[in-house]
Structure 1
Amino acid sequence: MSEPIQPPARAWLRSFNRTQAILLGFVLVLTGAMLWISAVILTDRALDRLRDRAEVRSTLYANSIESVLTTYTVASALLAQDRLLPNLLAGGADEQAQLTLGGLQSSIGAPSISLYTATGTLIADTQPEGQEVAHALAPYFQLALEQDISIFATVAVSETEQRFFFARRVQQSGTILGVVILEVDLASIQRQWVATPDEVFVTNADDLILLSSQPDWRYRSLTPFLDPLAVQLGARFTLLPMLSLEPTQAGPRVAINEQAFLRIDRAIDFRNWTVTYLAPEEEALANVSAVLAIEVMALSLLLAGGLFVISRRTARKSLQIQRESEELRALNARLSSEIEERMRVEQSLQAAEESLEQSSKLAALGQMSAAISHELNQPLAAMKTYLAGAQLLMQRNRPTEALTSFQRIDDLITRMGTITRQLKSFARKGGEGASRFDIRSSITNALAIMAPQLGQTRVEIRRREPDEPVMVRADAMRIEQVFINLLRNALDATRATPEPWIEVEVFTGPQLVRVQFHDNGPGFEGPAGALFEPFFTTKAPGEGVGLGLAISSGIVRDMGGSLTARNATAGGAVFEISLPHADVADLGESDNE
């Protein structure tokens, strides 16, 4: 009896295989990545446009402030030179002086003008009634008498209002007659700011807000500490809350009351004032969100259309699936036999894995044997040379010199025993047997051991090292082993060079000691890191197993240093050993204790 036909949606879900799931996941991930990239690009462009607009607006605001201050600076200087003021100062306070000063105020367009004698007596004042400021008692009045420049002053008349003045002395024929004080009309600019939706304020050199489009920001401090200027202005200013300008991320962005702004600062060429323009990011990001919403809707429509097409195809296939169900039942029997066969294959696979594990052990044993063979070849070759020399010396009846060769053979035997013990460095941490020694002596010992091989070639050994000892803390025997390996490699590399040379140079610094082995061979090909991989070699078969540099790199790393390689610009290869200076190593050990 055949199974009932299922609804298309359920049939589509049941037929949803792993490949389709992976494909759908890939599409979703790709869609998310596209939306994320689009959001990043749109956000950057929106912020760039916002920043450009903010740059223009901040420049306009800064220019308007500079224009007013420059105009009033020039006006104060010209007013102090007016020929009417000496006559007013000589005649004393009267109604005519008040009218004359009022006429000057109208021609300049200043909010007020005040005229005082040098002793502080008020001659005339155009300040509105009830808003008079006693300038004669202020510090800037005395400064105006002492200096022939326009003295700028800020006078706080309340906690949310301040007035600005220029004071300039009036003199005639070198005699100081008095002081004229011209009020600067910055309040009108501030009123224009309040009427706009922009967020802008002006701070002085002590980060105190003098002008602002937000009335409650005035007289707030941008610094998180008590401002000395605030103490001078009065204790009431030190109690005002500070305006929080916390950076939200890298870049000129700030957060005020949990709202993000782009911050643009423009310096004003006046007493280190700064105009700060805050451009809200909310509007720019809202446009980005709208574009992203359109993209999401378009992608959703595409996805819905794709799912609709798939569901229609699945509905057509559902009938075919029902017809094929009988064939699937027939396959169950064969599937059972295949399962049994699979179990037998798994058993065979398990046996193969055990055999592979045993082969891996044998490979590790072979690797260790090759390492021992590589490290012992050099002392054995040297011993053979010294033994042949000793026999020749004995035949020539020169036993004393022969004893020297035998002593060197004994030293090499000791070194061979040390090398076999040091092969354990691949499985343990380094640092054992470390002591302070002069690295120049290790170079000398390595050259002495390699003397027989070097003597058989025309290679020139060049040594460059400081005259004073170069102390390191390491295992001297293992460092000599590294030097021997590098000398042997350099000797092999220069075998076909017409005029071979090997340069050994020592550099010392406050932190590291570096030893370079430079040859004029052909250099090496491929990445330098591959040279230090076990069994990697550029030599011909039978000339090396590719363990020398791997062992040397492990030894130097155990000593807290590094071994690097590079091709020299002028040709040849350069191998550099870096080891901590003995003083640095001793300091590190004392810190660990």
Structure 2
Amino acid sequence: MKVGFGRRIAVIVGFVALVAAAAAGVWRYGYFQALDQLSRQGASDLALASDRLTGQLQRYRELAVLVADHPQIGTVLAGEDVRAAEALFLEIADKTAAEDIRLTDAAGHVLASARIEPTGVDIAPLVRRATQGALGWGNGQSASGARVFAYAAPVFDARSQVKGAVVVTADLAGIEWDWVGSNPAVFFTDAADRVFITNRSEIVFWQRPADGPGLVPADGSALPFDSYRIGRHEVWEMGWGPYLPQNALHLVRPLPVIGMTGEALVDVTPARRLATLQAAAVAALCLAFGALLFLATERRRTLAEANAQLEARVASRTAALSDSNAQLRREAIEREEAQAALARAQVDLAQAGKLSALGQMSAGLSHELNQPLMAIQTYADNAVAFLERDKPARASDNLKRISDMARRMGRIIKNLRAFARQENEPAVRVDLAHVLESAVELTKPRMRQLDVMLDYDPPTSPIWVSGGEVRLGQVFVNLISNAMDAMVGRETRVLRIVVQGPQVRICDTGPGIAVPDRVFDPFYSTKEVGASEGMGLGLSISYGIVQSFGGGISGKNGPQGAEFTVDLRPWVAHVEAAE
């Protein structure tokens, strides 16, 4: 017993260790994936910040170029209108938020300036580059300590010789004002590896150490910092204050257009949190699975012990269960036979209802067939007479009429034959418009006999539904016949058939339904006892047929009489596949 218990403990410890290793692997993989996503997002944010800074400085570069082409510049270089040029420079600086605008000669001497106080920026290198015909730029600090960025544009004379340079200085504090504090932390270092522009003001003028990554405050005091690499990513661990992440992904983007390097610090806490959640989910699932497996094993062991005790009891009850099983089989066979007999009875009942409807229509149909027969005989005699009189055109006209009569009789006989056929096939695709047309044609003789006016607008295109053509025809013949029976003796006899997609409504002007809730019960009828059509099975049979096709049939009292609605299931591709 102790050996078995020790083995189970060892299995549990080994499983827990395996789960821990799997969770660690998932954490590492998830962390790498999250870092890749953070890197892509951070690179996008850094590119956006870099483009924004470059675009904002671009205004001052274009300003320097535009001012260099101003007509006032030539007069100042000639030693005239200096005060007017300074007033112009001051007006332009105030309107464009430029820190200063200066005009120098080719030697770098300042000829005119928008501000009286010096900016403190060494413009000599910028002017030398401008005198060479190129655009010069650089950064520095003003006399008041403000961070500035300057552009120097060359001034050309009529012979394209450089006569001087226009230097436009921009205050970087005004540029970075609208994005201070945004995420992620972004800073731009100049050629001296000094933080010159940033959205975190606390690291302005921090310097890159000569011996490695990171930043050192301007006063030289070192703050907590460490860095390590994970794959192709560099992560900084910092203790630089509440507005900078403690663990950040370091991204770099060179900006040669302004002579700086853009850098971003993206907080990796969300990546760690996501990796931890993934590892915890995997560990929880594995532990839950292991617990369930352990419980199942213990339960199986317990059940095995109980099974040995139950086998003896099972043996003693086998004989009784065998007798019960045999009895249940006999009952199942009897029930299947009863269901089969019921199905046959339902089919026979439907066929009997169909034949009953044919009996009701027989008088009208015999008249429909007898009338064309007599007409055929008359037209045949006329054709013979016309042929004897050598009038082939009149004879041909009579023969055409005989052909039309024959086609009419054939159509009536075809509908009768289809209606009388016994259909046992499953639901197929049926054209509802054709079924209604056949039902109306079968019942039209009786409509004329009972003087019933038909209000029916046949559909102009097929309406495909799920059903059986013969059985659906029986449903509509029953409903139309019942409507005509209900209107016998009424002053107004109008039968209205409305088709709306797979829905058909049959309305009459009869007395209505006395008990609508019982109208589909077997043997329920409102007709007189002893009437040939008063068995009360037609609507019950119709209800069963429509239900077998997955549809529904309902009856209610409308504004003028009874109203029956047949809702059929539309035929679609997936229904065809299922059938």
Q: TM-score range by the shorter chain?
A: 0.3 to 0.5
In the superposition, the TM-score normalised over structure 2's length comes to 0.43
Q: Which has the larger radius of gyration?
A: 2
In the superposition, the TM-score normalised over structure 1's length comes to 0.42
